[in-house]
Homo-oligomer: A and B are copies of this chain.
Amino acid sequence: MTVLAQPDTTASAPREAAQDARRAQILDAARTCFARSGFRGASMQEICLEAKMSPGGLYRYFPSKEAIIEAIAQDERCGAAEIVQAMRGPGPLLDRLIGCAMGYFGYMRDPGACELMAEISAESLRNSEIGKRFAQIDDSVRDIMREVFEEAIEKGEMPPIEDLDATISMLQAAVDGIALRQINDPDLSLARMEPLLRRLVAGVLGMKA
């Protein structure tokens, strides 16, 4: 993915690929720095060092730390959309929901992913500009959950829910909490979590685990 829209000609394609690689390299380095030092703590200098690039080279791609954070937020939005797709599609509702959550937990085990999420969560609490950049992810996950639940209720796959908004918030909150904790808790391996998560989700939705 590139921010610079270019005609896809044979002449520009290799240049575009090199630019994309450079951009990805910067974003990887920035994630490492943000995970280590926080969004506020990490400096452009630290990101340059981590990316092994000169400031001049880096500024050609991103004019500011804010621009880097926005690019990461954009990538996260795409990543979340992909994971959340597991909620749709065929198969029993509970399997789809658990599959989606397990995909999320797996993703969060990538190096730095969890630290970055904790940073995002702290910024969201502060309701800062950084926090707002990531809030859209949450909203889009919410929309898909609502759609999936409404369809399942209509089909009789789950009982009607009295307070759908609170139910969705509760499940999001619980899954986020588990995603964060599983990283350092040896008792929360993916295999041991799955049957318990199934009971949790079934309990909240009033279904049979």
Contacts and interface: CB of A to CB of B under 8 A. Distances in A.
A122 B127 contact: no
Interface string A176-203: 1110111111011000110011011111
A88 interface: no
Label chain A's interface by main secondary structure.
helix
A187 B169 contact: yes
Interface stretch (A5-13, A62-70, A159-167): A159-167
Interface residues of A, number: 49
A58 to B, nearest CB: 24
A172 interface: yes
B115 A125 contact: yes
A177 B196 CA distance: 16
A74 interface: no
A153 interface: no
A55 B121 CA distance: 32
B178 A170 contact: yes
Interface of A: 36-38, 40-41, 114-115, 118-119, 121-122, 124-127, 163, 165-170, 172-178, 180-185, 187-188, 192-193, 196-197, 199-204, 206, 209
